[in-house]
Chains A and B, each alone.
Chain A
Amino acid sequence: MEICDFALHRPASLAEACEMGRMLGPGARFLAGGTELLPDLKQRRDVTRHLVDLRSVPGLRDIRLDSSYLHIGCLATLSEVAESSDVHKTLPALSEAILSMAAYQIRNRGTLGGNFCGGVPSADTPPICIAAGAQVRLAGVDGERTLPAEQFFLGPRKTVLDPGELLAEVLIPVQPARSGSSYQRFALRRATALAVVGVAARVALEKGRITQARVAMSAVAPVPMLAAECSGILEGQSPVEEVFERAAKAAALASRAISDLRGSAGYRRDLVRVLTLRALREAAARAGTRPA
């Protein structure tokens, strides 16, 4: 296979990268790990002629924890995120979600930014980030903006990114003391298989009551989605099985699954119920109180 006729650009700063992206227009794409991009280029799925390599921009690969946020730079590889002690401290379920996907070879190259920007509905890292209340910091020619992660996705392979705009980092808020998270996933194989359904849950407890709860899902809608209904059902309640079941049913109802070669819509909806239940049980257990 020949990939000869692509021009490579190496910006020295984030601002220069954005400027290049805008000037080169729809024929340009940002290059991070390349695991999504190279198959696209090979199959000529798009009109790409220019690649703006983000590796030359300093600082985009950093993972750092400050008093309010865990910052994960868009170029941090999935392996680096999964192995980061700051990630283990802040959101261990993100590490688990990453280790459930693909295989070593892909995780060593693929990046968190790429997993977001690919806009694939079955992506595994967005749901757990959304459940944890993550935000995305976008950098563009006209400056920066920060959005809740669930608002980043518009449709399959579509995101809110404007031409010349890129996802600079994912910001995960430091989780409250008595909180726990879980990512539950079902796929046809243990590795190198897209999720049939993935469900992430985050639960915070105080004095035996759920104070905060968020459930997010993948592969059951055109975008990774927040099941907002679940929060209303769970918050203020005791972390008991009956409450979890109600939330799980609401999540299944909220899902907009389609049938494809990996599973039918009906099967997926039932999986959402089962996986939400498991995710809530685990998240609550990790938050410190055994669900009754």
Chain B
Amino acid sequence: MKIRCRVNGVSREVETPPMVRLLDMLRETLRLTGTKEGCGEGECGACTVLLNGQPVNSCLVPACHAEGASIVTVEGLSKRGKLSPLQEAFLHGGAQCGICTPGMLMAAQALLQENGAPKEAVIREALAGNLCRCTGYVKIVEAVREAAKVTRAAAAAKKPARKKKAAGKEKAGGKQKPAMKKAARKKPATSRGKRARRA
């Protein structure tokens, strides 16, 4: 069957048997091999991706349920080759042997989208569905907390600047928004270009 969905912001159309796992569709058909298979039974969380913003085990999602969905994989975290704050934080000890890392990143990403300042217990709960076979959760939890801190600091640094502009010149505030919208609009355009090149 033909499945239309958005993967990391790019519209995709995939021809696949309907009960193929989303995990296999991502890895085999779309060649997005960042998502890993661990247990294949929904116990370990290594294959976690975001499906319409929610963390799910892609080994338990049939491709037919990705129809019309928006999917984010670990490949979608970095922007223009620049690692996200979460990925940067994991580099300092959070990424161990690596098999659980993509799943940990996606589960943590889902948490940080909802909670910018999670307490340790909340982080541990958010990552409860992700097993680390090195059994070193301390560095991972620290990395998530660090990423939250960095993101908060970046947001705080931005805020007063924005306020100043808005207070000083109306134009500045007005300019900013359309600029952001343009960037958002541009994305599909470039992705379309990429797809054309691939084809």
Contact = CB atoms under 8 A, between A and B. Distances in A.
Contacts of B77: none
A104 B115 CA distance: 15
B21 to A, nearest CB: 7
B143 interface: no
Interface in B118-158: 125-126, 128-131
A39 B47 CA distance: 14
A109 B60 contact: yes
Contacts of A53: 64
Given A34-B62, A192-B43, A51 B129 contact: no
B41 A39 contact: yes
B126 A3 contact: no
Interface stretch (B12-20, B82-90, B163-171, B174-182): B12-20
Interface string B95-107: 0000000000001
B55 A104 contact: yes
Interface residues of B, number: 32
A105 B107 contact: yes
Nearest to A106: B42
Interface string B18-56: 111100100000000000000011110100100100111
A108 interface: yes
Contact of B62 (A1, A38, A106, A190): A38
Given A6-B19, A108-B56, A103 B128 contact: yes
A250 interface: no
Contacts of A41: 19
Interface string A40-61: 0110000000010101000000
B3 to A, nearest CB: 11
A199 B64 CA distance: 37
Interface string B51-91: 10011110111101100000000000000000000000000
B40 A42 contact: yes
Contact of A190 (B40, B54, B128, B131): B128
B110 interface: yes
A8 interface: yes
A243 interface: no
A261 interface: no
Contacts, number: 88
A104 B53 CA distance: 12
B110 A104 contact: yes
Q: Determine the main DSSP class of A at the interface with B.
A: loop
Contacts of B1: 8
Interface residues of A, number: 29
B17 A104 contact: no
A39 B42 CA distance: 8
A185 B61 CA distance: 28
Contact of A8 (B19, B61, B125, B126): B19
A98 to B, nearest CB: 13
B59 to A, nearest CB: 7
A79 B54 contact: yes
Contacts of A105: 42, 45, 48, 55-57, 107, 129
- Closest A-B pairs by Cβ, 7 of them: A103-B129, A191-B128, A8-B18, A6-B19, A3-B19, A108-B54, A4-B17
20 contacts: A3-B20, A3-B62, A4-B20, A34-B60, A34-B61, A35-B42, A38-B60, A39-B41, A39-B60, A104-B54, A104-B128, A105-B55, A105-B107, A106-B57, A106-B60, A108-B55, A108-B56, A109-B60, A109-B61, A192-B128
Interface of B: 1, 17-21, 24, 40-43, 45, 48, 51, 54-57, 59-62, 64-65, 107, 110, 125-126, 128-131
Interface of A: 1-6, 8, 31, 33-35, 38-39, 41-42, 51, 53, 55, 79, 102-106, 108-109, 190-192
